[in-house]
Structure 1
Amino acid sequence: MDFQPIERPAQAFQQPVTAAQLQAVCHRVFGPAGRVSKATELGLGMYNSTFRVTVEGQERPVIIRFAPEPGRQFRSEREFMRNEYATVPHLAVIAPLMPRVIAADWSHDLVGRDYLVQSLLDGVPAAERLRTYPRPSWTAFYRRIGEIAKTVHAVRGPGFGTVAHPVHATWSQAVTESLQDIAADLDAAGLEAADLRKAAALAAEHHAVLDEITEPRLLTGDLWTVNIMIAENAPEPVITGVFDLDRTSWGDPAADWPIRMASAKQDERLAFWEAYGERDRRPAAVWRSHVYEIRHLGAVRLEYHRHGDADAVGNSYEAVAAVLAELT
C-alpha cells in the first residue's frame, strides 16, 4: 500500500489512523478482494480524519472519514458523524451534489471510532481553487450557494435540535441548551465561559422572542467554501458538490452558518441574497441574530482552542462582548 498520512504532533486533536486499520475497513466494506493500493490523508478538514483511498476492483477512489474518538469530542459536538448520516434522507433535495454513503460503521471494533465510506465527489475544493478565478466571477458562485441554502431551508422537521436528536418542542429550548453546552465545553477546556452563560440566560429570559420561530427547518450547519467542490477546468467557478454537513440541525434558517457568512462582508457574496431572498430586518429578528452570532462565536472559540490558536481565542471574548451589548 502507498500510504500517505499527514504527520502531526502527538498531542494534535486529529489522531492518526494506521495503514492496517484502513485495510481492515476496506476488507469489511468491499470484501476480501478489497485491497488498498493507495491511501492519502486530506488536510482541508480540522475535525474528522479524511482519506482518499484507491481500492483494487473499484472504478473510482472512495473517501473514508474517521470521527474523533468519543472521549475527544466536545459535549456540543456529540456524534456529529452519526448526525450527518441521519441527515442524508433529508438532503434528498440536493442529492446530486452530495456524496453517496457506501458504508457506515459505529461498532468501533476495527478502529475505536465511527467512520463513513463515501463516494468521491467530482471537482476540486473551492477553498483551494476559488481564488484562482477573477473576483467578478465569484458572484455566480455565491449566488449558487444562496440557491442551495434556500432549497435546504425549505425542508421541514419534526422538532428542534440536531437532526439525529430533535428533542426540543420549542426553539428557545434548543438555543438555550446549545449555549449551555458550549459553556460547559469551555469550562472543561479551562476557558472562561461567563459570556456564553450570560447569553444562555438572556435566551431563556426572552424565550418568547425566540419562540416566534415555530416551524423547524433544516439548517446545513457548515455550508460554505470549505465544504464545497467546484468544477476543475470550468471558465468560472461552478459548484459540483457539497460535503461534510455534519452540523445539521432543525431550527431557524437565520441561525445557519451560510447566513452568517453571507452577511460578513459587503463584497461578491452579496449575490447570495439575490438567490436566497432578503433577510428579515424586524427588531425581533435582529435580536435573534445577535443570539445566533454569540453561539457561532462560542463554537469557533472552541475550534480555535482545539487547534492551539490562543490569540484568536482571546479575540473571541471581545467579539462576544460587543454582541452581548446589543442584547441587553
Structure 2
Amino acid sequence: MLDGYKEQVGAANRQINSIRGTAFGPLAGPGNTCWRRVFTDIVEDVLADGERRRVDLGWDCDTVREVLAEHAASLDEVSEPRLVEWDLWDSNVMVRDGKIACVIDHERAFFGDPLIEAGFASTQMAAAYGDSTHFMRGYGHPPLTETETESVRRRLYCLHLALIMVIEIVYRGHTDITQYDWARERLTEVMALLGRTRR
C-alpha cells in the first residue's frame, strides 16, 4: 500500500514538473534565465536570515557559501525552467480510496530544477529521508549516480533544505528543539557529502 502510494506521488510530481516556464524563479516573477544565479540567491537569502537572527548552524555561514561556490557549476546543466512544487511531503498529499485526490500547500512553488523536489532528497540521504525506490519508479527517473552532476545538484538542494529547517525554527518561535537538532545533523551530513568535514 505504502509503496503504491509513493509511486503515485512520483507520478504526480512528474506531471507537475512537466509544466514549462519562461524563466527560473518565483511564479509571479521576476525571473532569470540562469538557474545557478536563482538558486545561489535563494540560499544566500536563507543564510542572511540565519545571520540576522544569529542562528547557530554548527557551521560558519561563509564556509557554507564556500561549499556552494565550489559546486555551483553543476547547476549550469539546468537550462529549462520547470514548475516545482518543492513542498510535496506526505502531509501535503490528500488520499481518498487509496488514490491521490489532491495536493495542497503551494505557496513555495516556483520554476526551477525538478531534482529539488522533496521526493529526490532520499537519493542522497536515504537514512534521513527514507527509500526513494518507489518514488523514483513512479516518477520514471533513473537512479542518480555518484559521478553525475545530478547527484551534486541534489546534495546542494539537501543543503538548502537543511539550512531552512535549522533557521526557520527561530522565525516560527519553536520551543521544541527536536527539528533544530535533527536538521543540524542533516546539515553536517550533507556538508560531508559535499566534501567538507569539521577539523
Give the TM interval when normalised to the shorter protein: 0.7 to 0.9
Could you say which residue in structure 1 is the equivalent of 2:19? 155
Structure with more contact order per residue of length (Cα contacts < 8 Å, sep ≥ 6): 2
Amino acid at match of 1:169: T
Please tell me whether residue 239 in structure 1 is matched to residue 100 in structure 2.
yes
How many residue pairs were aligned? 186
Q: Which runs of 4+ in 1 moved over 6 A?
A: none
Q: What SS is found at the alignment partner of 1:218?
A: strand
Q: Write the distance in 1 (CA, Å) between the matches of 2:75 and 2:21.
A: 17
Could you say which residue in structure 1 is the equivalent of 2:186? 319
Amino acid at match of 2:183: S
- Runs of at least 5 residues in structure 1 that lack an aligned partner in the other structure: 1-136
Give the CA RMSD over aligned residues.
Answer: 2.2
| Greater fraction of residues in helix | 2
Contact conserved, 1:301 with 1:312, CA < 8 A, in 2? yes
How big is the shift at 1:326?
2.2
Could you say which residue in structure 2 is the equivalent of 1:37? none
Amino acid at match of 1:173: R
How big is the shift at 1:211?
0.6
How big is the shift at 1:200?
3.1
Could you say which residue in structure 1 is the equivalent of 2:134? 271
Shift of the 166–313 alpha-carbon distance from structure 1 to 2, 3 Å rule, reads: same
Q: TM-score, normalised by structure 1?
A: 0.52
Larger Rg, first or second structure (1 or 2): 1
How big is the shift at 1:170?
1.2
Please tell me whether residue 308 in structure 1 is matched to residue 175 in structure 2.
yes
Q: Write the distance in 2 (CA, Å) between the matches of 1:142 and 1:260.
A: 14
- Runs of at least 5 residues in structure 2 that lack an aligned partner in the other structure: none
Which residues in structure 2 correspond to 1:54-203 (within 5 Å)? 137-193=1-57, 194-203=59-68
Contact conserved, 1:203 with 1:210, CA < 8 A, in 2? no
Q: Write the distance in 2 (CA, Å) between the matches of 1:252 and 1:214.
A: 9
How big is the shift at 1:270?
2.9
Amino acid at match of 2:112: G
Percent identity over paired residues: 26
Amino acid at match of 1:189: R
Amino acid at match of 2:16: V
Contact conserved, 1:176 with 1:201, CA < 8 A, in 2? no
Q: What SS is found at the alignment partner of 2:77?
A: coil
How big is the shift at 1:303?
3.4
Q: Write the distance in 1 (CA, Å) between the matches of 2:178 and 2:100.
A: 34
